[in-house]
Amino acid sequence: MHTFSIIIPHHEIPALLQRCLDSIPDVPEVQVIVVDDNSSEQKVDFEQFPGLNRKYTQCIFDKEGGGAGHARNIGLRHADGKWLVFADADDFFTKNAFQILDNHKDVPYDIVLFKADSVDSDDYSPSDRHLKLNKAIDKVLGGDFTAKEAVLTEPGPVCKMFRKDHIQQKEILFDQVQSSNDVMFVVKATCWAANDGVTVSNEVIYVITSRKNSLYTTRGKDPRNYLCRLDVRIRRNKFYDENPYTTPQGDIVHYEKTPIIVQVLRALKFGPKTFCKALILAIRQGALFSGTSVIFKKLLHRSTAL
């Protein structure tokens, strides 16, 4: 059995995937699983596919076109490491990332959250995509935040180690949806972990990249993408209601939810048709006013700060 299983979904960016793989050592302790999500033969040379020449990398070519969530679930089925680590094909690890990960391999936690850096994918100029994550970790280290809250601040699967036994025992999978396929995976893994089962590290292991045509940068332009993300936010709010956090003192605390009515109003930027779809979606799920307490808390905070 390997120590780490690195799962990487891929779709039609082989040069960037190669960069990612180059940042991962090809050693017995590290199992790498690349799942290609129905890439076109016009854009990918499958005979020279990145990873085929690596001893401890498994390349899986899936033709269903089910998206990144589907690809990650395939990777989960093939992972045999003690720890699960996820990467996006257009990102990469820092030079000392796997020494840092190795230093944490025997920790008694279900999830370990690490810091990141971020750059432009083309010219490597500084980006700001890592700032929110790193700030959350600093708040934990300063005693102002719980480790679980920090993980949920940026609920993507990267920059984290997940104990495979925890994921398997809870039968946690990625959503097979167009957008935000990873949110509920991270939310469930975090909320279902023991109160002392999540920790953070001040060390940087991962570089998040910004790229013009990535799903992240284009997600605000597609109304279908927006409605998909709205549905995920509604499901996350409902999950938070059903799975509150119990503090070491025995107090029950609910995680901060997304104000759904605000998200519905933001759908207006796509036009009345998308707005109506968003409104109907929220009403049918009884979630239109879910998370509104967050608005009042922020207004109260601002008024007391004046």
pLDDT band at residue 154 under the 50/70/90 scheme: confident
- pLDDT of amino acid 246: 77
Q: Where are the domain boundaries for CATH 3.90.550.10 in the chain?
A: 4-216
| Top-confidence residue, 254 or 296 | 254
Between CA 191 and CA 184 the distance in angstroms is: 10
In this structure, of 68-82, 254-268, 290-304, the range with the lowest mean pLDDT score is 290-304
CATH number of 4-216: 3.90.550.10
**CB 147, CB 140: distance < 8 Å:** yes
| Percentage of the chain exceeding pLDDT 70 | 93
- pLDDT of amino acid 16: 98
- pLDDT of amino acid 215: 63
Tens-digit pLDDT profile for residues 55-107: 999 999 999 999 999 999 999 999 999 999 999 999 999 999 999 999 999 99
| Percentage of the chain exceeding pLDDT 90 | 84
Among residues 113, 91, 256, the alpha carbon closest in space to that of 189 is found at: 113
Strand partners, 160: 113
| Top-confidence residue, 272 or 215 | 272
- pLDDT of amino acid 195: 84
